[in-house]
Amino acid sequence: MTTANSSLRSRSRYVAYLVPVAAVVVALLIGAIMLLLLDASPIEGFREMIKGAFGSADALTSTALKATPLLFVGVGITIAFRANVINIGGEGQMVAGGLLGTTVALVLPDWPAVIMLPAVLIAGMVGGAIWGAIPGALKAYYGVNEILSTIMLNVVAVQLMNYLLRGPLIDPGEIERGTRIPQTERLQEGADLPLLFGSGRLHIGPFIAVAVAVAAYILLWRTPIGYRVRAVGQSTDAAQYAGIPVKRTIVLAMTLAGAMGGLAGAVLVFGSESHRMVTDGSTAGFTGSAGFNGIVAALFGGLHPLWTIPASFLFGGLLVGGNALQRAVQVPTPLVLALNGIVVVFVVATDRYRRLLRERASQAETAAQLASQAESNDDGAGEAAGGGVPPPIPPPPGSPPPKDEATP
């Protein structure tokens, strides 16, 4: 029985890992049908998609830069999920982080680069953390649904961004020219993310994102804080009975998730080619919808910080390669958006099935442990029954019979 349970556990885990891959394959097959309906070659289109995402050093750079905010947001999603909290506020948290980091760079322009760069990144984390802590506190202390509160805060963030970029933070040159494009002036060079290899577009942002994902894994599975977060996510009643501060832990998880989104916003600003914060009046104009796409990357990675790393780069490749596909086969832009949307729908839709497989694997593991414990108990009982008081040693031949001590 132990062997059968172990086999079921392994098979369930392997299938759980393959489910998102199968979802992407099915989504691409549907995309192929859509291309055929438009008299375009799916083989040529997908070949150009792969080439545009991974076929050259410049393509890999574009993919890495596109994946960086997805990874930051995805790591934040995994932290919140471990506390059984759903964070849909990545867009607003990115905006809040970008705004606070930009404000620090504008207010303190004379700081040296060795201080300025860490300061703006930390400011971005603080801005996102504040934006994440608000819905966390509302859920923990007042029972407000975090999905509604995070979505509403996304709306608040975009309005705040539009006000600041069209007013207090606007580039003075835009006012002089009368164009009034909602953007800041060119930020201080000391706040620019250092470029790798001395030139090009690749900066240290992707490596910071990978380091953050590894740190999140260590936090969740190797520290007391992570243990408390996971305990609250498993059962709030059991965690509270064990003395864990449930409400504060929920707020902490959302604060950390928001900090990851805020760091993504800061990296977008200080790693951009224009080195300024700019928007078109919508959150997507600044974030590129990374706040929502990061959720998909986290789901694709099984809501695990380490698996979110390859998931983010794969999904970033799909986004970058989609543009190459459009140029190669001359299909409308909405088709590329539809293809990405189909991938999102299939990945999200299969998450429930993956959770079911993980539950089966966990049940099989528990059953295997109980069976092993039962076998150990049976062996111990057999040893106790056969190895109790030793039988009496018979007297030597010719000795007198033992005297009965009960008789006088």
95 close to 112: Cβ distance less than 8 angstroms: no
Do the beta carbons of residue 163 and residue 285 sit within 8 Å?
no
pLDDT of residue 4: 53
pLDDT at site 408 = 37
pLDDT value of residue 180: 86
Torsion of CA 38, 40, 46, 48, to 10 degrees: -130
Between CA 332 and CA 28 the distance in angstroms is 17
**Whole-number pLDDT of residue 123:** 97
CB 72 within 8 A of CB 294: yes
Domains identified in the chain and CATH numbers:
41-330 (1.10.3470)
Q: Is 3 exposed, middle or buried (0-12, 13-18, 19+ CB in 10 A)?
A: exposed
Q: What is the pLDDT along the chain (408 residues), one digit of tens a residue?
A: 455 555 555 566 666 667 777 888 888 899 899 889 888 889 998 999 999 999 998 999 999 999 999 999 999 999 999 999 999 999 999 999 999 999 999 998 889 989 999 999 999 999 999 999 999 999 999 999 999 999 999 999 999 999 999 999 999 988 888 888 899 999 988 899 999 876 678 999 999 999 999 999 999 999 999 999 999 999 999 999 999 999 999 999 999 999 999 999 999 999 988 889 999 888 888 998 999 999 989 988 888 999 999 999 998 998 899 888 888 888 887 887 788 788 878 877 777 777 776 677 667 667 767 777 777 766 665 555 555 555 555 555 555 555 544 443
Geometric angle at alpha carbon 66, from 322 and 160, rounded to 5°: 110
**DSSP alpha helices (H): ranges in 187-332?**
205-222, 224-234, 236-241, 246-270, 283-287, 290-300, 305-329
pLDDT confidence of residue 162: 94
8 A C-beta contact, residue 265 and residue 97: yes
CA–CA separation, 233 and 237 (whole Å): 10
Residue pair 215/49 in contact (Cβ under 8 Å)? The answer is: no
What is the rounded CA–CA span in Å between residue 47 and residue 186? 38
pLDDT reported for residue 406: 42
Q: What is the pTM of this model?
A: 0.84
Query: What is the C-alpha separation between 123 and 253, in angstroms, rounded?
Result: 19
How far apart are the C-alpha atoms of 21 and 160, rounded to whole Å?
Answer: 39
d(C-alpha 254, C-alpha 240), whole Å: 18
How far apart are alpha carbons 239 and 94 in whole angstroms?
31
CA trace torsion 68, 74, 76, 77 (10° rounding):
160
CA–CA separation, 294 vs 67, rounded Å? 9
Phi, psi of 295 (to 5 degrees): -65, -45
